[in-house]
Structure 1
Amino acid sequence: MAGWEAVCRVGEIPEGEGRTFRIRGLEVAVFNDGGRFSAILDRCPHAGGSLGSGWVEDGTAVCPLHYWRFRLDDGRCVAGGGGGVPGFDCEVRDGRVWLST
């Protein structure tokens, strides 16, 4: 998998929130942290919760099931268990959020 794909318009993800998108067979959670967009794999490794249904807190995505937290810049788990989730390169172009897939 290589290349960039537009996933949504900037205004579709409110500040401090995430949304889940299906990209090339993967569920990816995209977050708006004060106008900075980040993307990580959508499934929490603890109980399979949708990270895109969570929220942003101090530069992390918070899982809505048990409040595990994952850094938006690299997917590393910083509160909860160990490990983390894969991250994706993300950028804004012409009012749209693009992911490297």
Structure 2
Amino acid sequence: MSDWIDIGALDDIPQRGARLVKTQLGCVAVFRTAEDRVFAMDDTCPHKKGPLSEGIVHGESVTCPLHNWVFDMNTGQAQGADEGQVATYDIDVRDGRILLDVNRLSARSAA
């Protein structure tokens, strides 16, 4: 079962852009694609700790601004020759509002 928190309006994030959501458990990058799909994942690249929320969104991937690692926003998995992964979080868009699943976010601190 999911508990959702409202983190803002879809229109607050430009297409092919991102928004940083600060939580008590760390920062989450929320991305909007050109097709208005929305994804959420940890903001920190595992390579050099680059802020993914400042990366380039292309298709359903984001490129880290520091060293060009590319992550699939569906899975958080690095693509190509790069090895690494970031946690992803469930998102729902209802009536133009973006909702983040807090249960999944809380689970990362339990490990």
Q: Is the TM-score greater than 0.5?
A: yes
Instruction: Return the TM-score normalized by structure 1.
Output: 0.90
Greater helix proportion? 2
Give the RMSD, CA atoms, in angstroms.
1.4
SS of residue in 2 equivalent to 1:39: strand
The percent of aligned pairs where both chains have the same amino acid is: 34
Q: CA deviation at 1:19?
A: 1.4
SS of residue in 2 equivalent to 1:31: strand
Instruction: Return the TM-score normalized by structure 2.
Output: 0.83
Q: CA deviation at 1:80?
A: 5.5
Q: CA deviation at 1:14?
A: 0.5
Is 18-27 or 35-44 further displaced after alignment? 18-27
Is 74-83 or 90-99 further displaced after alignment? 74-83
Greater strand proportion? 1
User: Which runs of at least 4 in structure 1 moved beyond 3 Å after TM superposition?
Assistant: none
Residue 19 of structure 1: aligned partner: 19
Structure 2: 5+ residue stretches without partners? 103-111
Q: 1:18·1:31 contact (CA, 8 Å) conserved in 2?
A: yes
Q: How far, CA to CA, are the matches of 1:18 and 1:74 in structure 2?
A: 17
Aligned residues: 100
Structure 1: 5+ residue stretches without partners? none
